[in-house]
Structure 1
Amino acid sequence: MSTLHRDAEVRSRRAEESVPAVSEARDAYAGKLLPDVQLRLFRDTQWGFATRTIARGGPVNELPRADIQLQDLVVHSRGMEFDLADYLSRNRVAGLLLMKRGRIALEHYDLGIDANTRWISMSMAKSVSTTLIGAAIQDKLIGSVEEQLTRYLPELRGTSYDGVSIRHLLQMTSGVHWDDTHTDADSERRRMLELQIGQQPGSIMKYLAAQPRIAAPGSVWNYSTGETHVVGALVRAATGIWCADYLSQKIWSKVGMQSDATWWLEATNGLEVAGSGINATLRDYARFGLFMANGGVAGDEQVLPESWIAEATQPRQVGNARVDYGYMWWPVARPNGSFTDGAFSARGIFGQYIYVNPREQVIVAVLSARSKPKGAEAILDNDFFNSAVTALK
């Protein structure tokens, strides 16, 4: 068989293989997948989408084990008491890793995955994407978060994003209309999924640019995966390279990651889907958390501005309401409601988490396969994180 015919056969086979993945992607967002199908999909790094590699580099940070391994812990949630087995089984956890001061105190794999399995990040990618904005500011490729988006993305002039600052974008307070309901086939989030399935370059940005403005920039918080796609376009415009390459250059290749990761694309040679679609191992997600806990230092380089992490991970006032959301990071309060630990998390639908507690030097990484995008957890994850902090004291 000639090389031409062989390449055509490979392309044809890949197209056929992508058909069920596309159908399953829709069903996953609708919360309609049965467990065995969902597990296979969450281990699939492509879902029928083009991807770009996030290259690792240098020696692996082996993450030494703590002298004492945590065997169990008491979890207080919703006025009830649970144990580790409850959290793992009831919340359909596939991977769990707890670290204290850079040492692994507990590592568990289930549901057919292991330490080498790359698992979908879902919206944890949002927190990674906004961190790249901090890196670009440190590199003086972006002036500050007070600058207008249109300075870097002139194609947004005359759209609802005209007059929106980088800070507004990072806080999801642009005032641009968006419904992020995954289970609603008519929502903007599901329309974005369809555009991603279509794999046409530039289609998602055109869709975002056509959305109406419903509030003044900075006045209303509205969770929007669309905003994060604009973050990805901003990274590309400011740095001149793709998000995956910039992530590799600034962080992934410098903090001892064990594996290359991948990132979904809107189309072959197109933008990353910055709001979701990173595929990495449990330990590498934990290593990213360790990078954040260490103040944004990779090797001997200060990758992020020194004040960036505190600014990006704190609650803030938006209009008349306090919003427990930073630059696409979620602040995590202690059981008494205080934020004195400075704890925060990246989180994604179906139960994906990187929890970081800088004060206690605790990192928790969680990979899950829950039945619905949101609200399917039996035990609240923040309650588990706070219980883990107590157990690791």
Structure 2
Amino acid sequence: MKKLKKINFLAFALLVLTTLTSCKVGRFIVYNFADIKDYEKFPARKIETGPTKFHFSTTTKGKVPEELTVKDKKYPFEKYLADHKTVAFMIIQNDTIQYERYWQKYNEASIVPSFSMAKSITSILIGCAIDDKLIKSVNEPITNYIPELKKSGFDKVTIEHVLQMTSGIKFNEGYKNPFGDVATFYYGTNLRKAVSKMTLKVEPGKQFEYVSGNTQLLGMVLAKALKDKTVSSYLEEKIWKPLGMEFDASWSLDRKKDGMEKTFCCVNARARDFAKIGRLYLNKGKWEGKQIVSEDWVTQSTKIDTSNGSAWYYQYQWWLPTKTGDFMAKGILGQYIYVNPKKNLIIVRLGKSKDKVDWPELLANLGQTY
């Protein structure tokens, strides 16, 4: 009898767990906030690398900082990184790896989710689609590609508005609310339906507000423009294979059958391959003599611009930590691709969390003094 009760209890527990993980709120409760292992939790499309691999040069005499200055205090460089939940850190200058170190059982082959660094990758693909004439221009209304939003007044929202986070959409970016918009987009199983319910709260082109819904709108625009291709296959075609990525990657989906890429997050890859995204933009969109995305697109994505409600520190899904020409992609748990063109420098930091560190300031200071 006891054995039967135990079996029934286990069956009930399994049923509850299955039910929970099949809906948004259930997923939120079970998984409980974003985690560095989230790539294991969601269905995904594979992104394959090509036969030719690009490898950064290496040196036995790398320039390694002895210390970091944080809020006017000095700390031992490696100890600070290790103490603040870093799992990977790379410094690449002049196409040479000056420093590469992993912690907490991670190594060069370890997969780490990009989180919002995927926003910058999505922006690159929008630029590629314009180059390929799949999208006419950033001045097109997004309803040319998502006509179901016409009824909600989105015919005034352009592709540039969503690139600049000035669309005026109503979107709750709170990460602790299981009923909020971010939870719906991250844990939900129907992004198309979620997008169709979006509304505006202010007129587009008036003010900047960083919300992930904008980048999912970009993903919908891109998916419609690609027609028979998926966003993942386009990333493979335009970026992953041409850049000679060392490893295959994946892009997490909202659901397994007919799933849509979570373009506001969730490209799952390795530190060295994330660094190549930085190298592409460091070289103004050119890779080994071939223009992958137009130089004009890279310039527009990384220049200071405060017109039409945009913020000087955010351009076309890239962050500008200072006004000196550097830029970065960043994710919620402290994932960063930092680029300083003046120093011909790329820094990648991946972590289990930000651990209350102002990483943009730290990376910008390191980049400027390196």
TM-score relative to the length of structure 1: 0.82
- Offset, 1:266: 1.5
TM-score relative to the length of structure 2: 0.87
Matches within 5 A, 1:230-269: 230-240=217-227, 241-268=229-256, 269=258
Shifted more, 356-365 versus 206-215: the winner is 206-215
> Given that residues 48 and 241 in structure 2 are in contact (C-alpha distance below 8 angstroms), is that contact kept between their aligned partners in structure 1?
yes
Matches within 5 A, 1:325-336: 325-333=314-322
Shifted more, 269-278 versus 209-218: the winner is 209-218
Structure 1 unaligned blocks of 5 or more:
1-11, 30-37, 334-338
> Given that residues 74 and 387 in structure 1 are in contact (C-alpha distance below 8 angstroms), is that contact kept between their aligned partners in structure 2?
no
Which residue of the partner structure matches residue 110 of structure 2? 117
> Given that residues 166 and 310 in structure 2 are in contact (C-alpha distance below 8 angstroms), is that contact kept between their aligned partners in structure 1?
no
Quick one: distance in 1 between partners of 2:74 and 2:209? Answer: 34
Letter in 2 for 1:358: P
> Does 1:66 pair with 2:66?
no
> Does 1:365 pair with 2:359?
no
Which residue of the partner structure matches residue 353 of structure 1? 336
- Offset, 1:312: 0.9
**3-state SS, counterpart of residue 201 of structure 2:** coil
CA distances 1:125-166 after superposition (whole Å, capped 9, x unpaired): 011001100011111111111111112222222124221011
- Offset, 1:391: 5.1
Q: 1:110 to 1:24 in 2, by over 3 A?
A: farther
Matches within 5 A, 1:211-230: 211-230=198-217
Work out which of the residue numbers 125, 137, 154 in structure 2 matches 1:132. Answer: 125
> Does 1:165 pair with 2:124?
no
Work out which of the residue numbers 284, 292, 307 in structure 2 matches 1:303. Answer: 292
Structure 2 unaligned blocks of 5 or more:
1-13
How many residue pairs end up in the alignment? 351
CA RMSD of aligned residues (A): 2.5
Which residue of the partner structure matches residue 4 of structure 1? none
Q: 1:348 to 1:56 in 2, by over 3 A?
A: same
Which residue of the partner structure matches residue 143 of structure 1? 136
Letter in 1 for 2:253: L
> Given that residues 312 and 320 in structure 2 are in contact (C-alpha distance below 8 angstroms), is that contact kept between their aligned partners in structure 1?
no
Letter in 2 for 1:275: F
Letter in 1 for 2:267: I
Shifted more, 343-352 versus 182-191: the winner is 182-191
Letter in 1 for 2:132: D
CA distances 1:266-286 after superposition (whole Å, capped 9, x unpaired): 122321000111110110111
> Does 1:46 pair with 2:40?
yes
- Offset, 1:53: 0.9
Which residue of the partner structure matches residue 388 of structure 1? 366
Which residue of the partner structure matches residue 294 of structure 1? 283
> Given that residues 150 and 157 in structure 1 are in contact (C-alpha distance below 8 angstroms), is that contact kept between their aligned partners in structure 2?
yes
Quick one: distance in 1 between partners of 2:51 and 2:308? Answer: 46
Which residue of the partner structure matches residue 181 of structure 2? 188
Letter in 1 for 2:118: A
Quick one: distance in 1 between partners of 2:90 and 2:63? Answer: 11
**3-state SS, counterpart of residue 75 of structure 1:** strand
